[in-house]
Amino acid sequence: MQIPDLFKQTIANTFYDKELKIMTTEKETIRDDEGSVIESEKDILKESIMGNFQYSTLEKVQQEYGKEMIAECIVTCANTLATVDDILVYQNKKYEIKAIIPYDSHKTILLHRVGDMNG
């Protein structure tokens, strides 16, 4: 079934009320003054999106989505550039994206908490 764009926008305006940041990790390799190779990683903002964030249980995620993975949070959004293994940030908490499930009117993102922005 094709969902009209006006209906998709109405859903987004009603339910997608949380600002979420999608981060990707950029790896950098440099040589210091003594010739040693130093590798570092830094998170780069990929995009900001509006979505609906909800906590769930591992059992519910596995039952509802048929995914054998550790994921205890679900985000629904209209669209995103996110990919599996990117980091989603919500309320200064970091979540690894474990799966992205596309639907006609939205995408569902399954998440696993991996830490805080401060550490």
Domains and CATH numbers, the chain: 5-116 (2.40.10.270)
Give the contacts of 52 (CB within 8 A, at least 6 positions apart).
Answer: 15, 16, 17, 18, 75, 76, 77
| Neighbour-count burial for 21-36, b at 16+ CB within 10 Å, e otherwise | bbbbeeeeeeeeeeee
Of 13, 1, 12, nearest to 104 by C-alpha is: 1
- For the ranges 41-45, 56-60, 86-90, 97-101, the lowest mean pLDDT is seen at 56-60
- Determine the pLDDT at residue 65: 72
- Determine the pLDDT at residue 5: 82
The count of C-alpha atoms lying within 13 angstroms of the C-alpha of 63, restricted to the half-sphere facing its C-beta, is 5
- pLDDT(20) > 90: yes
Distance from CA of residue 59 to its chain's centroid? Answer: 20
pLDDT digits (tens, 9 = 90+) for 75-102: 999 889 999 999 999 999 999 999 999 9
Please give the model's pTM, rounded to 2 decimal places: 0.79
| pLDDT cut 90: percent of the chain above it | 48
